[in-house]
């Protein structure tokens, strides 16, 4: 029973083309280790595609570390933060994808949705111009560089990013973001 349960579970992921799946608490050290594995896995692939995938992966996982509402360490930021989320990297018929998901304070949903809808509606040239503008503007409060991180994800994605929110209990929301490389 045990083996069949987890074999089904693994097969479900394999069937979706998942190369790497991580659920639970993530820190900068975990990000580094997973990223290292991803780079090795991509060694035989096109270098520019591998770089775009790595870049999207880092920004996505750092968003979990910085903005997930489910945190093991509540004080401090950066090196000390440990936050919970879900990371999936896989391949589909026309390329790779990176999905990240985490729980958010519901009060932050509308602002994030607006920003992501804005990015989703931009073409490559508009994303480039928007990136250049944000690169030069002073950091937004509480953003820890996150606003430019989302632009970086949208810019490296070969198709428009996909995202969704689902209301949970206690004024929280489940947020997921998918990018394509």
User: Is residue 32 a contact residue for other proteins (CB under 8 A)?
Assistant: yes
Tokens 């009060």 — which residue?
107
In this chain, which of 44, 48, 75, 170 binds other proteins, going by CB under 8 A?
A: 48
Residue range at the interface with other proteins (CB under 8 A); choices 73-81, 82-90, 99-107, 172-180 = 73-81
Handedness of CA 106, 107, 111, 112 (dihedral sign): negative
DSSP H helices in 42-145: 47-67, 109-120, 124-136
In this chain, which of 26, 58, 112, 119 binds other proteins, going by CB under 8 A?
A: 58
Touching other proteins, residues 79-98 (CB under 8 A): 79
User: Is residue 33 a contact residue for other proteins (CB under 8 A)?
Assistant: no
- List, in order, residues 6 or more apart from 101 with CB less than 8 Å away: 85, 86, 174, 175, 176, 177
Q: Site for other proteins (CB under 8 A): how many residues?
A: 29
CB atoms within 10 A of CB 15: 8
User: Is residue 128 a contact residue for other proteins (CB under 8 A)?
Assistant: yes
User: Is residue 42 a contact residue for other proteins (CB under 8 A)?
Assistant: no
Give exposure, 40-74, as e/b (b: 16+ Cβ within 10 Å).
eebeeeeeeebebbbbbbbbbbbbbbbbbbebeee
User: Is residue 6 a contact residue for other proteins (CB under 8 A)?
Assistant: no
Residue ranges in contact with other proteins by CB under 8 A: 28-29, 32, 36, 47-48, 51-52, 54-55, 58-59, 62, 77-79, 128, 131-132, 135-136, 139, 144-146, 148-149, 151-152
């Amino acid at each position: 029973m045990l083996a069949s349960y987890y074999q089904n579970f693994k097969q479900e992921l394999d069937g979706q083309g998942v190369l790497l799946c991580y659920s639970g608490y993530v820190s900068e050290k975990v990000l580094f280790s997973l990223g290292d594995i991803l780079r090795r896995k991509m060694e035989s692939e096109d270098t520019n595609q591998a770089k775009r995938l790595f870049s999207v992966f880092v920004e996505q996982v750092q968003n979990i570390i910085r903005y997930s509402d489910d945190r093991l360490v509540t004080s401090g930021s950066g090196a000390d933060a440990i936050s919970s989320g879900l990371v999936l990297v896989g391949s589909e018929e026309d390329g790779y994808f990176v999905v990240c998901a985490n729980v958010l304070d519901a009060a932050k949903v509308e602002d994030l949705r607006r920003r992501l809808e804005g990015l989703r509606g931009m073409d490559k040239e508009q994303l480039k111009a928007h990136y250049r503008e944000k690169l030069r503007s002073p950091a937004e409060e509480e953003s820890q560089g996150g606003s430019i991180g989302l632009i970086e994800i949208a810019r490296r994605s070969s198709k428009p990013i996909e995202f969704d929110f689902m209301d949970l209990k206690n004024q929280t929301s489940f947020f997921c973001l998918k990018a394509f490389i």
